[in-house]
Structure 1
Amino acid sequence: MTYTTESEARQWATFLHLSLLAGLLLPGAGFILPIILWQLKKDELPGIDAHGKVVVNWLISALIYGAVGGLLVFVLIGFPLLAILGLVSLIFPIIGAIKANEGVLWRYPLSLRIFS
């Protein structure tokens, strides 16, 4: 692997993790953009496929946790659960991006392993 390819792969992996935060600027972009980036670059750059699976696993996990939290709002425990989910949905992509920039694949805690 050449230095340029490794550097480029790290850069795209960083973008992939940070793309989860795109939903803060444009509703829905945090779901669509990571999947598009993953699909465009997974065959071109080594390691991107693994990062893409981690990101999509977190997307699916967060949707499931959000649905459960939404249902639990009726018994009031859903409010703190949704607040915690919102916080970790902000923190995990940032940590993932930092680790990706260092060349490390970081699996998000609490993430269901749907794609492996």
Structure 2
Amino acid sequence: MLAHVGGILLGWIAPLIVWLMYKDRDEFVRRHAVHALNFQILLFISMMVSALLSIILIGLILLPIVWILGLVFSIMAGIAANKGEEYKYPMNVSFVK
């Protein structure tokens, strides 16, 4: 749960720390940390692209949408992890495996 919800405040750093600490100890936590890390990296890239697109004003619309989606999906993933359920982000790319 910390990997998902920690990403709200610390971005990709929180899931990276959880993944590095638990990758050899607990398969369930490792899987969730990897999913959270991949999502936070994708979210970071999306935020940077939106910030660049704010030059032509479309980024001003995209930036809050990306932020809200990241917040909602991270909370949903944290709740699922707390219940012991698997969670897959609706849009995710496997940067880390």
* TM-score, L = length of structure 1: 0.75
**TM alignment of 1:1-116, pairs within 5 A:** 14-21=1-8, 23=9, 29-116=10-97
Amino acid corresponding to residue 88 of structure 2 in structure 1: R
Hey, what's the Cα distance between the residues in 2 that align with 1:64 and 1:17? 17
Q: Calculate the aligned-residue CA RMSD, in Å.
A: 1.5
Q: Which runs of 5+ in 1 are unaligned?
A: 1-13, 24-28
Amino acid corresponding to residue 68 of structure 2 in structure 1: L
Aligned pair count reads 97
Residue aligned with 2:27, SS: coil
- After the TM superposition, list the runs of 4 or more consecutive aligned residues in structure 1 that deviate by more than 6 angstroms: none
Q: 1:68 to 1:30 in 2, by over 3 A?
A: closer
How big is the shift at 1:114? 2.0
> What CA deviation, in whole Å up to 9, does each residue of 1:65-108 have, x standing for no partner?
11211111111110111001110121111100111122222111
How big is the shift at 1:56? 0.9
Residue aligned with 1:44, SS: coil
